[in-house]
Amino acid sequence: MDLFEHQGKEFFARYGMPVSPGEAVFTVDEAVAAAERLGTPVMVKAQVHTGGRGKAGGVKFAADIDAVREHSGNIFGLDINGHIVKRIWIEKASDIAEEYYASFTLDRSAKKHLGMLSKEGGVEIETVAEENPDAIAKIWIDPVDGLSEAACREWVAASKLPDAAVEGTVDILQKLYTAYTDGDADLVEINPLILTPQGDVHVLDAKVTLDGNSEFRHEDYGQYDGTQPRDEREEAAHAKGLQYVGLDGTVGVIANGAGLAMSTVDVVNQVGGAAANFLDIGGGANADVMAGALEVINNDPAVKAIFINIFGGITRGEEVANGILEAMQRVDIDSPIVIRLDGTNADEGRAILAPNLTNKLMMEETMLDAARKAVELAGGT
Amino acid sequence: MSIFVDENTKVIYQGLTGSQGSYYGRLNAEYGTQVVAGTHPKKAGSDVDGVPVYANVADAVAATGATASCIFIPAPGVRGAVMEAAEGGVEFIVAITEGVPAHDEAYFYNDLKRNFPNVQLLGPNCPGIISPGKCNIGITAGHIAKAGGPVGIVSRSGTLTYQALYELKQKDIGVTTCVGIGGDPVPGTSFIDCLEAFEADPDTKAVMMIGEIGGSAEEEAAEYIKNHMTKPVSSYIAGVTAPPGKKMGHAGAIVSGGKGTAAAKMEALEDAGVRVGHNPTEAGELMAEIVASL
């Protein structure tokens, strides 16, 4: 789950990190009122789940209230990499002497936590990594040991931050690591972490991704779920508990298992079509789940044909076949359906489907043939 | 022969008294797996289909001599269950459960490496392991696999593992062992662990490896194959057309920051001499060609 910048800052503040006071607002009037309460100058910052806000004109300095009105008016509704700005964070402006970068994430290859610290902040860390890799000090942390103060000091020393920034940075990094582990984050990133002319180290931006699998031990996760960027289709699928990712094509895909679903999307593309979605209905393909999946796909106006790709493992072919027929009675499907059913008791399942086959419900023997048929029906080979 | 598990492997089921655990425990036992015990802290002395239940893994090991454990415990309890199994004395742990927090996985992976270096963990979020005709631990439907050899299978995806087994069975090709390593960010067993074991197993003559987008495990496997494998390998990578930044069902299956793409993985594998199919059927056909030429 990705957090907005302001949610990330609130998350950091709970772990004792220094962030600026601010308010999240949804209208220009609210923006003005917030700026009046905070006192100008303020920063007017678009809240979207994507990078490049500054370049797109989504982050502005406002010296007075008139500027707040003007900038927030321009930023609301702005399209930043396909994300429309609906919420703005008004924050007390900070004086900046220097900008740094700090983050923790899991290094899947090393199977340890990776901390990165750089005195070259304020720009994309990927750019720094490419152009000046020596400017990034890295530390690999064994989760069993955690991050000791001594190790943290050694790491900060390696980053060659100026002396004035060392104490504040050591303190923030230890708190950031606690937020990362106790908060079950996949990523915590501060860019920039700043040194003020007064000598304070301060968090000026926050990028936080939380691990949805940890929701059971974090009551606060619920509030972030509603602010995830999902299109209408994804929202409907999410409400039904389906694993769905919206894509741009015309062939609706339903498969059991994440790997097979991904593979189905690939094969549709390989035979010259384009998948409208990725949808994994999981291990059990019963009528309820199948009906829900068909409903979600049927509501996507781009879909011209549906490809149901099921490999029965523990789930038996006849259950799948009955599930599909029952679901079709419950949901009025507009597009033709092509089924490929294989695996456990596939013959029994196919026998159940056979008398029900029409020009709206077709069956093919193999995954490739079924993909070709679906693409042909969608009119796109 | 087979790798990791065979007909002599005695298995404890942590969570045998639950709905999933009892269902798959029964199926595994029917397949011929030595299902010798279950555990539940409050149900010691009872049984499930005649399989005795003990209070914990240590008691179960003491009573049965089991060397493996299969975990069907809900995600919040998996960290505790894995460590209980290791402390209880088993050498091979299969964690089927999906949805385990990544921080828990990173923690117990490192804890095991340090304090229980002889313990091999498979999973979490995996279908399990099957040495066809001998032992089936987990949720794979046993009858879709043909016993014998000469092929070993290792896969990150559950249903694609079944697909691979099935493709080979249709072609009358047997399998020594099929390992589902799971789609999570920190799998206990890696591709390389399996490739190494298959390379050492005299009955495995070729390996089918099924990967997917995300991480760099396939690239690392390619490096290993290039430098250490004498046996031929065929492969398939799912997610060629996956858009960046979207998790495709598995917690680990995501293309982020331009890393973990299928194209990069396929290139690395081909560079290592692996024959890469563009879909599961093609990978099966490539393996049939390899087997025919053995």
| pLDDT for residue B1 is more than 80 | no
Q: Which of A2, A244, A311, A341 to mutate to test the interface with B (most CBs of B within 10 A)?
A: A311
Of A111, A126, A266, the CB nearest to B238: A266
- Inter-chain contact B162–A343, Cβ cutoff 8 Å? yes
Chain A residues close to B183, C-beta within 8 Å: 258-259
Distance CA A325, CA A319 (A): 10
**What is d(CA A183, CA A203) in angstroms, rounded to the nearest whole number?**
18
Q: What's the confidence (pLDDT) of residue B251?
A: 66
Find out whether A289 and A308 touch, Cβ atoms under 8 Å: no
Distance from CA of B159 to the nearest CA of A (A): 5
Q: Tell me the chain A residues in contact with residue B141 when contact means C-beta distances shorter than 8 Å.
A: 312-314, 343-344
- N-terminal to C-terminal alpha carbon distance within chain A: 37
Smallest Cβ–Cβ distance between B185 and the set A106, A260, A263 belongs to A106
Query: Residue A255: its chain B contacts at CB < 8 A?
Result: 159
Alpha carbon distance, N-terminus to C-terminus of chain B: 18
ipTM above 0.85? yes
Closest CA to B141 of A367, A363, A280, A317: A317
Nearest-by-Cβ selection for B220 from A109, A142, A314: A109
The answer to whether B279 contacts chain A (CB < 8 Å) is yes
Contacts of A267 in chain B (CB under 8 A): 279
B250:A144 CB<8 A: no
**A-contacting residues in B 130-149 (Cβ below 8 Å):** 139-141, 143-144
Question: How does residue B17 score in pLDDT terms, banded at 50, 70 and 90?
Answer: very high
State the nearest Cα–Cα gap between B243 and chain A, in angstroms.
8
Inter-chain touch B110–A261, beta carbons under 8 Å? no
Q: Which of B40, B228, B250, B278 is catalytic?
A: B250
**Shortest CA distance from B215: residue in chain A:** A108
Residue A60: count other Cβ atoms within 10 Å of its Cβ: 19
pLDDT-based confidence at residue B57 (cuts at 50, 70, 90)? very high
> Do A311 and B158 lie within an 8 Å CB cutoff?
no
In angstroms, the separation between the Cα of residue A214 and the nearest Cα of chain B is 5
H/E run at residue B136: strand B135-138
C-alpha distances (whole Å) from A143 to each of A137, B67, B82 are 19, 27, 16
Neighbours of B175 (CB within 10 A): 25
- Our CA-based measurement puts residue B102 at a distance from the nearest CA of chain A, in whole angstroms, of 7
Q: Which of A101, A180, A224, A244 is catalytic?
A: A101
Distance CA B184, CA B99 (A): 9
pLDDT of the residue at A285: 64
CB–CB contact A344 B249 (8 Å): no
Q: How far is A233 from chain B (nearest CA, A)?
A: 15
Is A15 part of the annotated catalytic residue set? no
pLDDT at A235: 85
* A214:B103 CB<8 A: yes
| A343 and B CB contact within 8 Å | yes
- The mean pLDDT value for B160-166 works out to 90
Q: How far is the alpha carbon of A335 from chain B, nearest alpha carbon, in Å? A: 23
Q: What is the dihedral of CA B75, B128, A367, A347, to 10 degrees?
A: -110
Contact B158 A213 (CB under 8 A): no
Helix (H/G/I), strand (E/B), else coil: B100:
coil
CA distance B92 to A12: 40
**A243 to B249: CB separation less than 8 angstroms, yes or no:** yes
> What three-state secondary structure class fits B292?
helix
Both tokens of B193, joined, read 């662990």
Specify the pairing of strand B47-48 against strand B51-54.
antiparallel
d(CA B161, CA B217) in angstroms, rounded, equals 17
**Is the pLDDT at B77 greater than 70, yes or no?**
yes
Which residues in A lie closer than 8 A to residue B220 (C-beta atoms)? 109
Each residue's pLDDT, cut to its tens digit, for chain A (381 residues) gives 899 999 999 999 999 999 999 999 999 999 999 999 999 999 999 999 988 898 899 999 999 999 999 999 999 999 998 899 999 999 999 999 999 999 999 999 999 999 999 999 988 888 888 888 899 999 999 999 999 999 999 999 999 999 999 999 999 999 999 999 999 999 999 999 999 999 999 999 999 999 999 999 999 888 887 788 888 888 888 888 888 999 999 999 999 888 999 999 999 999 999 999 999 987 666 778 888 899 999 999 999 999 999 988 767 788 889 888 988 888 888 899 999 998 878 899 999 999 999 999 999 998 999 999 999 999 865
Q: Which residue has the tokens 């974090």?
A: A218
pLDDT for res A281: 87
Choose the closest CB to B160 out of A142, A184, A259: A259
Return the number of CB contacts < 8 Å for A and B. 170
Cβ of A259 within 8 Å of Cβ of B110? The answer is no
Residue A99's Cβ-side half-sphere holds a number of Cα atoms within 13 Å equal to 14
CA distance A335 to A247: 17
Q: Given phi > 0 = left and psi -120 to 50 = alpha, else beta, which region is B115?
A: alpha
The answer, for B170 touching chain A at a CB cutoff of 8 Å, is no
CB of A48 less than 8 A from some CB of B: no
Give the one of B140, B212, B279 whose C-beta lies nearest to A313's C-beta: B140
| Whether the predicted pLDDT of B187 surpasses 90 | yes
Q: Which residues of A touch B249 (CB under 8 A)?
A: 243, 257-259, 261-262, 278, 280
Within 253-272 of A, beta carbons closer than 8 Å to B belong to 255-263, 265-267, 269-270
Tens digits of per-residue pLDDT, B101-115?
A: 999 999 999 999 999
Q: Which of A84-93, B198-207, B221-230, B245-254 has the lowest mean pLDDT?
A: B245-254
Mean pLDDT calculated for residue range B83-92: 98
Q: pLDDT value at position A340?
A: 95
Q: State residue A284's pLDDT score.
A: 62
Output B170 or B15, whichever has higher pLDDT.
Answer: B15
Which A-chain residues 196-225 have CB contacts (< 8 A) with chain B?
Answer: 211, 213-214, 216-217
Q: Looking at beta carbons, which residues of chain A come within 8 Å of B240? A: 266, 269-270
CB contact (8 A) between residue A126 and residue B257: yes
Active-site hit among A10, A91, A120, A189:
A189
Catalytic residue list contains B250: yes
